[in-house]
Amino acid sequence: MDTFKAQYELDSTVNELASVLGVKRRMLGVVAAARGSVLGPIQFLRDGQVVADASSSPVIIDETLSDPDVRYETTARLCLIVEKEGILTHLRTTHFTSKFPVIVITGNGFPPYGVQLLAYRLCTELGLQPFGLFDCNPHGAAIMMRYRYGLSRVHDPAAAKRTRMCIGHADLAISTLRWIGMRHQDLEYLLSNSRADQSKGVDATLTGWEEENPSTASRRDSRIDELELTRLDRSVAAKVIEDAHTLGDKEIVTAVEKMLERGTKFEIQSVLNYRWDYLTEEFLPNQMLSASRADEE
């Protein structure tokens, strides 16, 4: 007979036990399974020996990468947290981490403890400037909230009746995380440009990248898939808005309310339909630069 019916029940029990005892999770002998990846100019060293190098290929994240005796060496100044493995793969394909001093991390959805811990350490101990790129839907906003505040209750149905958020790790909050996309204003910009290209008779999918790589051109079109919100999406949105109000996060409230008002959502992958290299050559550099300048003001 299974002790726990769902993963969130185990997570909640372990977190609450650690809190009661005043210790870290790992001191209880609980180690999360490896999930998520890190890519970019960083080496992980133990006793002077390189145990992992994410410079050219993604490294699967487990809690050992954040052991106290593991030291980090990096030339990066930025940390980009992305929602999905597919986007990290795209960033690798387009050599994004070779062009910019950035480390990319993904937890493949809601991040497990090991991913949260690594992202937290990179942004706090190394002082990397954190940015977040998530789908424009209520779950994307909830995942962003998990990184920014360390907790969330969205994927715990029972938590809807509780008065406080308790799923996650508040001590791993990355409070300076900047949400750079995707949001509906990004979609409106792309749709406007796509219509302009079509009115001029321009193939929005033909880029320098695809001219050099013809095999990719046949897989691209100018459609940007905007989907209707489901009943589950609206339920998640209500929880996110409620929690964001509690935390005083007007940015999240405004963005999710916009989703409900428009009644639609879209994924980061849709941007690749607009132009294969748009994400890496235009959107991400511009958004990170704009956010960095805003932080300096």
pLDDT in tens, 199-235: 555 444 444 444 444 444 333 345 667 899 999 999 9
Its sign, for the CA torsion 85, 89, 92, 94, is negative
CA angle 82, 111, 259 (to 5 degrees): 60
Reported in sequence order, the residue ranges of the chain that DSSP labels E, i.e. its strands, are 37-39, 42-46, 49-53, 59-60, 70-74, 78-82, 102-106, 129-133, 151-152, 167-168, 178-181, 227-228, 264-265
Span 139-156, mean pLDDT?
81
Looking at the whole model, is its pTM more than 0.75?
Answer: yes
pLDDT at position 55: 96
Confidence band of 56 (pLDDT split at 50, 70, 90): very high
Span 169-194, mean pLDDT?
84
pLDDT at position 112: 86
Q: What are 71's two structure tokens?
A: 């030291």
> Residue 136 in contact with residue 267, Cβ under 8 Å?
yes
Q: What are 21's two structure tokens?
A: 């005892």
pLDDT at position 35: 81
User: What's the pLDDT tens digit per position in 102-119?
Assistant: 999 999 999 988 899 999
Confidence band of 185 (pLDDT split at 50, 70, 90): confident
Give the end-to-end CA distance of the chain in Å, rounded to a whole number. 58
Amino acid at 123: C
Q: At what angle do helices 250-262 and 184-199 cross, to 10 degrees?
A: 50
Q: Which residue has the higher pLDDT, 240 or 207?
A: 240
